[in-house]
Amino acid sequence: MTFGAATREATRARWAARASLILKPLQSALDAFPPSRWLMRRLDRRALKGRLLAIAPPYAWLLIFFLAPFAIVLKISFAEPDVAMPPYTEVFALIEDAGSFFLSIKLNFSNYLLLIEDDLYLRAYLNSLKIAAISTALALMVGFPIAYAMARAPRRWRGALVMMMILPFWTSFLIRVYAWIGILKNEGLLNGFLQWLGVIGEPLTILNTDFAVYIGIVYSYLPFMVLPLYAALERMDESLLEAASDLGCRPVKAFWVITVPLAAPGIIAGSFLVFIPVVGEVVIPDLLGGSDTLMIGRLLWAEFFSNHDWPVASAVAMILLLILVIPIVLFQRHQAARQEAAR
Amino acid sequence: MASGPTTRRTFEPWDDPKSKPILRVSSVSKSYGSVTAVDQLSLDIHRGEFFALLGPSGCGKTTLLRMLAGFERPDTGRIELDGVDMTAVPPYRRPVNMMFQSYALFPHMSVEGNIAFGLKQEGLPAREIKTRVAEALALVQLPDYGRRKPHQLSGGQRQRVALARSLVKRPKMLLLDEPLAALDRKLREETQFELMTIQEQVGITFVIVTHDQDEAMTMASRIAVMDRGRIAQVAPPTEIYEQPNSRYVADFIGSVNLFEGNYVGGDGAPTMRCAEAGCDLSLAQPLLVAPGHRLWVAIRPEKLEISREPPPPGTLNCLSGVVWDIGYLGDFSTYRVKLDSGKIVSAAEANRMRLTERTISWEDRVYLRWVPQAAVALLS
């Protein structure tokens, strides 16, 4: 493969296109938020001092905080549990034999076999994907009108509206989820209100059901959906809808053939930003869900902290990562191919 | 047709009492809060016209155009297209198309997709859509650009795609909102003539909004000069230029020298007493106003004759002053002459010879004169 610079350039462009698919809406969401603009300007000035200096931190960050831990977890997933500190056997060992040193690698696949043999794990994976998919759809349905209204609001309000969307992050995530217990429990605010209205006689059981989990997830992850959607919709030229109408297209249809396709980058970015973390969500199902709300994050937690079976927990994490990474890579490859075909 | 002198075909349906206008705007008003954008405006436009709405920004021309397209509802009044009341009809049901100033091309669709969009809404069969898109692309001379995306086109090409998209549905009337504003000067001039050719080919009534008087003068069959939501004058370009009906129109189109004074009756020789000019100015014809009535005389710079030689005594409409400033424009030279009263008058002279040495220079005493028929008397 020595096609030289041209191929390399093309590859680089392809990767840039893939990255921008997700990063661009995020970038614009940040741009709309004044303090981040100030920060970016500061960073830009820095970047002028040297390209390397600017490029190095993200790579260093990825290496230290993603690749290295990933390698460690991968290694542990091939170990055996052990009553020791740390609680697993070494995979790599240096063995001395007759003055020579050998590197012994002992791989244990039984952790992965267990995931296949015990259908608890399969059900947990599938249920997590299902909950994540439904939550993403719900967040999209709730988030789209909000983002649309924000993007069409008078310009001077928009900064404040974005700010309000981000404001909940100023409070601890845990506290906000705890607050939902107070709202949803049998003698909580919601049931109290409904009983006061006379809509229901007996309190509804909402807490500790899947329904409560959906409420908690949609509430917690809504900003991640709204901000990229807002960024995409805010950029849209309103005269496009007028042009569609002028050409004989009714407003409802124009929404589907003009607004939605143009908001697609935001829809995709927002959906990924909600779907991916929700698959591995632990806190919300633990606090709001019932004991039968099976999610892989909870299972992982239990393996790790209750069973002290680090190798199985690591294997669970590795498979979870694969489940999430493969569709993203496939999708981005498809998207990049489509972009190139359009050229 | 084979023999005989060819007569120039005149196109003046507005003077023909039998011609029914395709568009009839009757006392339409539109306000935004306390601002009146369009004020009791009435207007007839005839089939096949190239009609220009001309005025400074904020004069209501764009609001009027948007009401014709259906994007704005008039507060009062009525808009009739081809005999049908359109006032309350939404834009997607009007047989009218608009070319937007920003072009408003759909960025996620190819050129073909953009042009086919309107036809698809009509539910035409795919074959017909294909041929009509191809025809439209040929009309704007972009036959091979169908598969491109808008962002892969130059500004001029995008402008043509927008034109093709708005013409392909064969509307009864095409509305153009500053269609050439985004083009550079050279391209704009070429495109003006091209738009006229296309309009003749398709035979559709064009209504164009512009703030550029050259554009309106070049292309339009008639111009409506607008002022603060009202129409100041509707007339063909030559009439707008030569016979403006008010100081506003005279001043907006081209440059003009205005003299203020009072009417002096007189059976044979109507004149105006004018302090600024320092003498009485004689008018081409008597006016139907009482003596002493306030009026203005408008005279275009190129209609003034400038010379260093004093004219023979008794010459009508002769002013004298000192050259204050000279502007050399290549084809023309403009002289700004300060009269003895302190008023500055512009006179333009075509540079018929190559200019090696100025015959008239700064601080020279010069004489300006004109025949009474070259000036227009205005009452408002």
Residue B315 reports pLDDT greater than 80: no
Q: CB neighbours (10 Å) of residue B11?
A: 13
Q: Please answer yes or no on whether B92 and A249 come within 8 Å at the CB atom.
A: yes
User: What is the 3-state secondary structure of B68-90?
Assistant: HHCCCCCCEEEEEECCEECCCCC
Whole-number pLDDT of residue B223: 94
Whole-number pLDDT of residue B18: 80
Query: What's the average model confidence in pLDDT over B289-301?
Result: 86
Contacts of A264 in chain B (CB under 8 A): 108
Q: Are A29 and A228 in contact (CB under 8 A)?
A: yes
Choose the closest CB to B121 out of A247, A262, A264: A247
For residue B349, CA distances in Å to B288, B331, B334 come to 34, 9, 7
Residue B38 reports pLDDT greater than 50: yes
Residue-wise pLDDT for B55-87, tens only, equals 998 899 999 999 999 999 999 999 999 989 999
Q: For chain A, give every domain's residue range.
A: 5-49+109-342
Whole-number pLDDT of residue B2: 42
In chain A, which residues have pLDDT < 50?
1-3
Whole-number pLDDT of residue B3: 43
Which residues between 237 and 296 in chain A have a beta carbon less than 8 angstroms from any beta carbon of chain B?
A: 237, 239-240, 242-251, 258, 261-262, 264
Query: What's the average model confidence in pLDDT over B171-176?
Result: 94
Q: Going by CATH, does the domain composed of B17-248 fall within 3.40.50.300? A: yes
Contacts of B98 in chain A (CB under 8 A): 242-243, 246
Establish if A342 touches chain B: CB-CB under 8 angstroms: yes
User: Counting Cβ atoms within 10 Å, is residue A49 exposed (0-12), middle (13-18) or buried (19+)?
Assistant: exposed
More confident residue, B32 or B289: B32
3-state secondary structure of B325: strand
Rounded CA separation B361/B372 (Å): 27
User: What is the ipTM, given to two decimal places?
Assistant: 0.83
Whole-number pLDDT of residue B354: 72
What CATH number should be reported for the domain whose range is B258-378? 2.40.50.140
Whole-number pLDDT of residue A28: 64
Rounded CA separation A67/A98 (Å): 36
Contacts of A239 in chain B (CB under 8 A): 100, 102, 104
Question: Tokens at residue A325, please?
Answer: 């990474």
Instruction: Locate CATH 2.40.50.140 in chain B.
Output: 258-378
Rounded CA separation B333/A59 (Å): 66
* Smallest Cα distance from A229 to chain B, Å: 17
Contacts of B122 in chain A (CB under 8 A): 248
Average pLDDT over chain B, rounded to whole? 87
* Smallest Cα distance from B90 to chain A, Å: 8
* The residue count for chain B: 380
DSSP state of B273: E
Establish if B108 touches chain A: CB-CB under 8 angstroms: yes
Whole-number pLDDT of residue A121: 92
Establish if B114 touches chain A: CB-CB under 8 angstroms: no
Establish if B97 touches chain A: CB-CB under 8 angstroms: yes
Q: Please answer yes or no on whether B97 and A261 come within 8 Å at the CB atom.
A: no
Question: Tokens at residue A31, please?
Answer: 């741009």
More confident residue, A109 or B284: A109
Instruction: Locate CATH 3.40.50.300 in chain B.
Output: 17-248
Contacts of A258 in chain B (CB under 8 A): 106
Residue B1 reports pLDDT greater than 60: no
Name the CATH architecture for the domain at A5-49+109-342. Orthogonal Bundle (1.10)
Contacts of A261 in chain B (CB under 8 A): 108
Query: What's the average model confidence in pLDDT over B139-163?
Result: 91
Rounded CA separation B52/B236 (Å): 10
Whole-number pLDDT of residue A35: 63
Choose the closest CB to B104 out of A239, A250, A262: A239
Residues B187, B189, B190, B196, CA torsion sign: positive
Establish if A83 touches chain B: CB-CB under 8 angstroms: no
Q: Please answer yes or no on whether B169 and A248 come within 8 Å at the CB atom.
A: yes
Rounded CA separation B325/B337 (Å): 7
Whole-number pLDDT of residue A245: 95
* Smallest Cα distance from A239 to chain B, Å: 6
Residue-wise pLDDT for B243-255, tens only, equals 999 999 998 988 8
Q: Which helix (H) or strand (E) holds A166?
A: helix A155-166
Rounded CA separation B58/B315 (Å): 44
Q: Please answer yes or no on whether A262 and B108 come within 8 Å at the CB atom.
A: yes
Rounded CA separation B152/B144 (Å): 13
Whole-number pLDDT of residue B6: 45
Q: Which residues, in sequence order, are CB contacts of B157 under 8 Å at separation 6+?
A: B142, B145
* Smallest Cα distance from B72 to chain A, Å: 11
Query: What's the average model confidence in pLDDT over B280-305?
Result: 84
φ, ψ for residue A62, nearest 5 deg: -60, -40
Q: Please answer yes or no on whether A247 and B97 come within 8 Å at the CB atom.
A: yes
Question: Tokens at residue A211, please?
Answer: 């329904």
Contacts of B108 in chain A (CB under 8 A): 261-262, 264
In percent, how much of chain B has pLDDT > 90? 46
- Our measurement of the distance from residue B163's CA atom to the centroid of its chain's CA atoms, rounded to an integer in Å, reads 20
Whole-number pLDDT of residue A34: 60
For residue B121, CA distances in Å to B68, B88, B168, B174, B332 come to 20, 21, 12, 18, 53
